[in-house]
Amino acid sequence: MKFLVTAANVITILLTMLLSEALAGVSISIGEPGFYGRIDIGSFPQPRLIYSEPVVARRVSTWYPPIYLRVPPAQARNWYRYCNAYNACGRPVYFVEDAWYREVYVPRYREVHRVVGPPPPPRKPAYYEYRREGNKSPKKVYPQEYRQDNQRRDGYRNRR
């Protein structure tokens, strides 16, 4: 009986670990090396294309404007297999060249959509000193700034 309970607990723990790993997502955005997907051309220069004509995997009766995609070369060759992954089966698709994406699109995209990270943590001065105030024990104090030319706070120079 104890064996069955232990086995059930182990199986439950393993399943929980597997499911939690399956739900963990990875986010890759435009400009990173592993990004494949739709590219918004907008004001960018005319892209270099793999095929000069748009590719349509499945004909539909409604007209959609063409979209630009960056996909691996094997997926571009067998587009009818992979169009569902990009939600582009009934749309005309232009495939952009990988070199144009890396050399032209990514640098300009990063320039326009600059991602600002969190500010750096405040830096403590390289030194500190102990100061005693009245009858209290010494306290570690970081000076606000380094003073140059032996200049005091009130602006007068120290005379030696």
* pLDDT tens-digit series, residues 127-160: 667 777 788 887 777 666 545 545 555 555 555 5
Could you tell me if residue 89 is inside a domain? yes
Q: Report, as an integer, the average pLDDT of 77-95.
A: 91
Q: Report, as an integer, the average pLDDT of 16-35.
A: 59
| pLDDT for the residue 23 | 45
**Which residue, among 97, 66, 69, has the nearest Cα to 82 in the 3D structure?**
69
Could you tell me if residue 5 is inside a domain? no
Count of domains forming the chain = 1
Containing structural domain, residue 54: 27-112
Per-residue pLDDT of 90-118, as tens digits, reads: 899 999 999 999 888 888 888 887 767 77
| pLDDT for the residue 97 | 92
| pLDDT for the residue 22 | 44
Could you tell me if residue 102 is inside a domain? yes
Could you tell me if residue 55 is inside a domain? yes
**Which residue, among 36, 126, 33, 108, has the nearest Cα to 72 in the 3D structure?**
36
The model's pTM is 0.53
Could you tell me if residue 53 is inside a domain? yes
Could you tell me if residue 160 is inside a domain? no
Could you tell me if residue 40 is inside a domain? yes
**Which residue, among 37, 116, 106, has the nearest Cα to 69 in the 3D structure?**
37
Could you tell me if residue 57 is inside a domain? yes
